[in-house]
Every structure is written in structure tokens, then in C-alpha cells.
Structure 1
Amino acid sequence: MTRVLLAGFGGLGGGQDHQRAMYLPAFQAHPGFTVAGAVGADDLGVPSYPDLNTALAESDAEVVSVCLPPGERARAIVAALRAGRHVLADKPLALTAEDTEAVAAAAAESGTVCMPAHHQRFAPALRSARTALASGRVGLPWNVQADFLVAGGDPCPLGELTNLGVYPVDVVLALTGLPVRRVHARAGDGVTLLLLDHDRALTSAIAVGRITGTADVRPGGLAVHRYRISGSNGVMNVDATKPGATLRTAAGVRTAWTGPDTLARMLTELHAAITGGRPAEVGPADALAAIRVVEAARRSLDTGRPVSLSPEHSQEGRK
């Protein structure tokens, strides 16, 4: 099995710890991985290291799962890549395009796999939709409408656009394969609306944020995750939370699904890329394309005006 080092147990603030809540149990459940060590935790029953440099020198783990706070994340990813380790990195891969570019350069130089944890693109309904779009099911797409709304939970100190925005942006780019040329953002009532102009006259509108008052979804869970894709020959509606069954018990509300979830599917792709010696489906170029859109959205919110992306930047998602 592929050995994994868990590096860091922090996030974007507000007590966020995706390492313990998401990646650790996903690695433990996956037949292709085993957790072999941790940096920043001594209660997991695996070797513990005081810092990443020591771990990289002493551990024989092939993969580093990076969940450090954002100010430390990019440097840690680069260090792991330069040490010849494969990397799974919590989203966002970095907070700025500049830092993301540094990660992409290190990944290219090392020849190892660097996967940003854009796991939402691995939802079964979205996989089917991507295949259907590629086969021309709705003709040439001209518009995508998307809603990515989380129910309650702790707000992110850096804002939900930074925290959640890369997910639906990455999905839209993966579905269409068309880079973004211009971004116009508007905000209100906890939701940010991204109005995007893509190549080939495609437009998309993405609503992303955190909402309250959703009694039928567990706090912090997805309230809405859906896409409406209009094309020259028809319309495709995709609910990324389905198939699934909503269960209401005394302990709360949750969605049950009998197949592998998005995290398990993402780890299967990571394992296949590592063992097959090939790039992963999602890599630093995808993270860079998404963060450029998020950065442009922040500038648009500050100025109240659309922000254009230069052609060389808008092509990065195709690499």
C-alpha cells in the first residue's frame, strides 16, 4: 500500500481541520493507502514528527497530505515536492496565484503527482454529465448556471468565496473545458454571484456561499449543489448531491449513499496516478485556473466592475 504522511491539522480558520474530518478517515478507509506518520499530532497511533523537514528526512511515506494554515501551505507543498514526495493538498492549494504558480513549477520540476483536493468534481452525477457534454448530448453549451450553497456551520474568517469558491469554479471549468475571460462578482445575504465570460461565447453564473435556516441539511453540509447547462440542442440539469437518500434521525439529518463518495473517488484517482506514473486528472494548473477566477472576483467586489483575465492566464486551465 502507498504510505501517507499527514502534514498539518489547520485550515482557513474557525477551527477548520479537514485533515481529521476528511482526509484521515478517507485514507484509512481506502484499500490503496496506509497512514504512516503525522506532523503536528501525536494521538493517531503512528510516528509523530515535530516538523515537516524532519518528517521528510526520516519518514518513508510516498505521499504527503498537506492541511497547514494558508500562510504555510504553499511552502510546505513545495518542500514535499522537492523531496520527491507526491502531494494531496487541501483547498485552496494556495491563497494567491503567485504562490500557486510556485507550486506548479515545483510539481513540474519534480515529476511527482500534486493533487489539489477539488473532490467535488468527482461526484458521480458530475462525472456522467461531463461524459454526456463531451459526447454532444446538448450540442454546443452556451450557458451554465450553478449553485453551491453550504448549510450553516462556522463561517470562514477569510470569506466563503475564498473557502468555497474554488469548488464550483473548478467543476464548471472541468465540465466545459473553456477558460474564463472576464469575471463580474456581486455579493449579498451570505452568497456571492460570479458572472463569468468564457471562450466561445459561453457564459456561466455561479452562486456560492453559506446560508442559514436549512432544517433538512446537517450544519456544514451541502444544501444545494446543482448545475443547469444550456446548449444548442437542449438543456441538462445536474444535481451533484444525487443519487442519495436523506435520512432524518434523532441525531440529525444526513445523506446516505451506497457507493464511494467524492473523497474516495478522488483518492482512487490519486492512487492510480501515482502507481501508473501519470499526471492526476486534477493538478496545479486546475488550482491556478480556479484561484485566478477567485482573485478576479475579489477585485470585482472591491471595485464594483468586471475584471478581465489576460489570454495567457485564461488558457492555464487547459494545460
Structure 2
Amino acid sequence: MRVVLVGFGGIGIQDHQTDMYLPAFAKHPAFTLVGVADAGGTEKAAKTAGEHGLRHFTSLQEAFDATDVVCVAAPIDVRGTVVADAVRAGKHVLADKPLAATLAEAREIERLAADNDVVVVPAHHIRLGGALRSTRAAVRAGKVGLPWNVQADFLVAGGDPSPIGELANLALYPVDAVCSILGLDVTRVWATGGDTLVTLMLDHPNGVTSTVVCGRTATVHGIAPAGLATHRYRISGSHGVLTVDATRPALRVRTGGTQATAWTGSGTVDALLGVLAAGIRTGRPEIGVADAVRVHRIIEAARRSIDTGAPVDVEGDS
């Protein structure tokens, strides 16, 4: 399947297209990179095209006409529009997270994807890590009995703070992971915190609850900037408790002046491309636009809760 990369921006200084998606697509056997295009005025496409021997498309319509799959990592203020335009053109989409700037945009993309019979996969790739896949399987198999509570911690050390806050930037990942583990939506949110650190207390159906602590800390010795300092889950059920360190399996690499973590297998972005390829074949991706809409509803409710200081019911899909 032919792939065009559209957009080289994100939130703040992010460029996930260059750092994550381009190298993953370049090595995946199901996909062939054919070109790049700018979106949002970042002007990085021409440079990328020259460095990687790809075609530089100067218009999005020209790019859409030349491909089967569009990978969108445009700046957040135009991302939803670019994804929607690609879907209207009948193209499958891999979209950086969050899928769009607003819930209304995400819902419109969901409607368009259904109308045009295309697959839209948002980059909720953290849930695809080996530890979290095993956790989901164990909980769904009843290894802890009936789950009643999940505690999740997702802390990034150092790096550049998100200009729109870490609730919008980072909290998506653990919230999505918790919903995936439980197989449950969220009905109510009580949230507190600021731009860099937030705590979300979530109510799920059937009396199940969860608590998510998420944000960005100061630099931590031995962890690369923007590296995961803590990523763990504690699932309590009627017949036991499961504790998970989602940074594993991995190994620690130490040199004379640096220390880093290296995964022992393929990364979660590689797994995300596998989800995309399988979803295009079957029409039923493991991670789809409905997941992006669900998390967006929860994050928007959390934002309202922080603003009001009170619990907020999560807006339904109707």
C-alpha cells in the first residue's frame, strides 16, 4: 500500500512524523512510502523529500491522488481538517494523537469514515506494548476476578512542556489504556491539577473506578529527556491484584556518559502500523476512530471538572 506523509508538526515543537512514523513506515513490509506534503505551514516536506528520495507534493489533493494511505501529523490546529479531507478523498488514515483539536472535529471524522468506508487509526500506540497487551488479556480472562479498581501512573521526565497542557497531550495514553484493559467506557470524571500534572478519578459502568496520575516531571537522572519515568498499573479485583510495570520488557544501556532504555522487541509504533495494515484488510481495526472519540469525551469532561472543581458526567455519543 502506498503511503504519503502529510504534516510535520504537532503540539508545540513536536515532529512525530520525522521521529516516529517515517522510520516505521520505511521498514514495514505492507507499506511503501511515495511522498510527503506540508500542512500548517511547517515547510519541512521539501527537505524530507530530498533526504529520503520521496516525491514532494505541493498540494494535498495531488498527494491524496497518489496514495492509498495518508499519515497525518499536522499541527494540532489544522490536524482535524487535514484528516477529514483525506477521508473525504477515500483514503485510509493513520493520525497522530490527539486525532483533532476538538470533540466536534473528532465526531465529524468518525461520521465521514463510516460514510466513505475507510479506516482511521489514531496513534493510541501505548496500549500496544507487550506488558499492556498481556494485562488486558489477563483481566479479560478473569485472572483477578471481577475488576473493581485500576490505579495508573504515567509520568514523563523532562522534555518540552506542552503549550496546551499535559491533560490534552499525555493523559490520552493512560486513559485509553485503562479503558482498553477494562473494556469499559467512562461515565463520570473528577479531575484536579494544572498544566504539567493532573489526577483523574474515573467512574466506569458496574461500579468500577480508576485513578490516573499523569504529567511531566522535572528532569530525572538516568532518563532521557521526555522519557517515561513511571508507567505502571495496579488492577484490583474480587480475586486478586495485578501490578504491571509497562516500561518492561526492556534493557538498560549504559555508556560512559549516558544511560538509556532499549526495547527488547519491536516498538509500539511498529505495532500500530500492524494494526493499520490489518484494519485495512479486514475493515475492523483494533484501534479505530471510535477510540479517539471516546478518549476525547473523557479529556474534555476532565477539563471541565478542573475548571469547575466538581465531578462532571462524560458526554454521551447520542
- Using the size of structure 1 for normalisation, the TM-score is 0.93
Segment drifting more, 209-218 vs 120-129: 209-218
Is residue 121–residue 170 contact of structure 1 (8 Å, CA) maintained in 2? yes
Alignment of 1:296-311 (within 5 A): 296-310=301-315
String of CA shifts for 1:204-239, please: whole Å, max 9, x gaps. Answer: 000110001311211011111111000000000111
CA distance in structure 1 between the partners assigned to 2:296 and 2:101 by the alignment: 7
Give the Cα–Cα distance (whole angstroms) in 2 for the partners of residues 160 and 90 of structure 1: 16
Q: Please say if 1:291 is aligned against 2:296.
A: yes
Could you say what secondary structure the match of 1:42 adopts? helix
Distance in 1 separating the partners of 2:306 and 2:314: 15
2:28 is the counterpart of 1:56: no
Shift of 1:289: 0.7
Q: Work out the CA distance in 1 between the residues paired with 2:118 and 2:256.
A: 46
Shift of 1:29: 2.1
Query: Is the contact made by 1:95 and 1:291 (CA closer than 8 Å) also made in structure 2?
Result: no
More displaced, 116-125 or 251-260?
Answer: 251-260
Match of 2:148 in 1: 142
Code of the aligned partner of 2:227: G
* Cα distance in 2, alignment partners of residues 22 and 30 from structure 1: 13
Equivalenced residues, count: 308
Give CA deviations for 1:176-213 in whole Å, capped at 9, x if unaligned. Answer: 01111110111159310000011010110001100013
Alignment of 1:105-254 (within 5 A): 105-187=111-193, 190-250=196-256, 252-254=258-260
Query: Which residue in the other structure is 1:3 paired with?
Result: 2
Tell me, in whole angstroms, the C-alpha distance in 2 between the residues paired with 1:304 and 1:189: 15
Tell me, in whole angstroms, the C-alpha distance in 2 between the residues paired with 1:257 and 1:298. Answer: 34
Amino acid paired to 2:46: D
Q: Does 1:257 align with 2:263?
A: yes
Structure 1 residue 258, shift from structure 2 partner: 2.5
- The answer to whether residue 40 in structure 2 is matched with residue 42 in structure 1 is no
The residue type paired with residue 98 of structure 2 is P
2:187 counterpart SS class: strand
Q: Percent identity over the alignment?
A: 50
What is the Cα deviation at residue 251 of structure 1? 5.5
Aligned equivalents of 1:30, 1:182: Cα separation in 2: 40
Q: CA deviation at 1:97?
A: 1.1
Q: Tell me, yes or no, if the aligned pair for 1:89 and 1:116 is still in contact at 8 Å.
A: yes
Unaligned stretches of 5+ in structure 1? none
Deviation at 1:307, TM superposition (A): 0.6
What amino acid is the match of 2:6? A
